[in-house]
Amino acid sequence: MPHTCNVTFKGNALAAFAFLLWGIMPLYFQMLTSADTNELQAFRITFSVPFMVLVFLTLGKQLPSIALLKADKRSVALCGLASVLMCVSWYSFTWAITHGQVLAASLGYFINPLFAIALGVLFLGDKLSKAQVLAGLLGTCGISYMIFSYGELPWLSLAMGGFFALYGLCKKFIRFDSITSVTLEAAILLPIALGYLIWLWSSDQSVALAGLFANQQDFDWKQLLIYMGTAPVTLMPLLFFALAISRTSLSMIGLMQYIEPSMHFLLAVLLFNEHFDQVKAVSFALIWTGLLLCSLEALPNLRQRRAENKAAGI
């Protein structure tokens, strides 16, 4: 019994820490506001591979063998699809937080659960509760109000939330463990990302690599390290999240996932002084209300499961 409580506490702590890291991520990318998003994405993918290899070595795990990959070609193909979906989501997120659009990033991850609910119904046969149906309607009203008021779709937010939800759906069908699948996702895109960086450097179009091997005295090593750092900065919360999954309930994970967009929202409004007008206020309020209803509905179920586990001594 104490062991179970300890595991749950560790899982909750790991999950909360993961979402906190995701939440403060815009602070790191404020050092890269003049960066080219394509180059930034290529750096993130390229240096994700050696970072993940280091994670394998640190944890004492074996790198995935060729035999393992051949034995499950379907999962390898799904990792390829997942890498593309995550690439689009991260590209949108990176562009947003380096171009003064942190509120758009916040909105994207607030509406992500609504996309996830819809995909669960369409592809996994999930049944919606009354709160989830109402949350979907309120979220749709919030987005519709924004479209009606601004006369355009919030493309950045929709791309972030939608493609990240598709990424989550894809991951449900991958049979590799989380660390292996994340490594494969980066490795599959590595040739394209590395090739793109080499082309940028050779054609003198790279910002981070400008002057490398040519003028060592004037070369900005600090800027290069910041570009390279986007890999561990974006992967660390993902690893903590993967560790949390097996140590706590999905219900608790679902409740804590709003830490990230809430922090994005606070950073955007209080620190980055982004414009928060009446239209955004109404849209966010509708979406928040729907998510609050889902959270309140989930709490009794969470308490019931805890009570059942306690009674069973699990």
pLDDT digit string (tens) for 37-95?
999 999 999 999 999 999 888 888 888 888 989 999 999 999 999 999 999 999 999 99
pLDDT, tens digit (0-9, with 9 covering 90-100), for 141-167 = 998 998 889 888 889 999 998 998 898
Encoding tokens for residue 111? Answer: 């509406």
CA distance 218 to 229: 21
pLDDT, tens digit (0-9, with 9 covering 90-100), for 198-224 = 999 989 898 888 766 666 666 778 888
pTM exceeds 0.95: no
Q: Please check the confidence at residue 2 and state whether its pLDDT lies above 50.
A: no
CA distance 76 to 122: 24
Query: DSSP letters along 62-118, please?
Result: PPPPHHHHHHTHHHHHHHHHHHHHHHHHHHHHHHHHHTT-HHHHHHHHHHHHHHHHH
Q: Please check the confidence at residue 255 and state whether its pLDDT lies above 60.
A: yes
Q: Supply the pLDDT for residue 112.
A: 84
Q: Supply the pLDDT for residue 294.
A: 78
Instruction: Say if CB 298 and CB 251 are below 8 A apart.
Output: yes
Label residue 305 by pLDDT band (50, 70, 90).
Answer: low
Q: Please check the confidence at residue 1 and state whether its pLDDT lies above 80.
A: no
Lowest mean pLDDT among 1-15, 37-51, 100-114, 160-174: 1-15
Query: Between these two residues, 1 and 30, which has the higher pLDDT value?
Result: 30
Nearest CA to 105 among 115, 114, 93?
93
Query: What integer is the mean pLDDT of 161-182?
Result: 88
CA distance 135 to 207: 44
Query: Between these two residues, 239 and 266, which has the higher pLDDT value?
Result: 266
Q: Supply the pLDDT for residue 302.
A: 56
Give, rounded to a whole angstrom, the gap between the first and last alpha carbons of the chain.
Answer: 6
Distant-in-sequence contacts of 294-303, Cβ < 8 A, 24+ apart: 294/113, 294/131, 294/132, 294/135, 295/254, 295/255, 295/258, 296/131, 297/129, 297/130, 297/131, 297/132, 298/251, 298/254, 298/255, 299/255, 301/251, 302/249, 302/251, 302/252, 302/255
Query: DSSP letters along 8-45, please?
Result: HHHHHHHHHHHHHHHHHHHHHHGGGTTS-HHHHHHHHH
Query: What integer is the mean pLDDT of 131-142?
Result: 87
Amino acid identity, residue 198? I
Query: What integer is the mean pLDDT of 185-194?
Result: 95
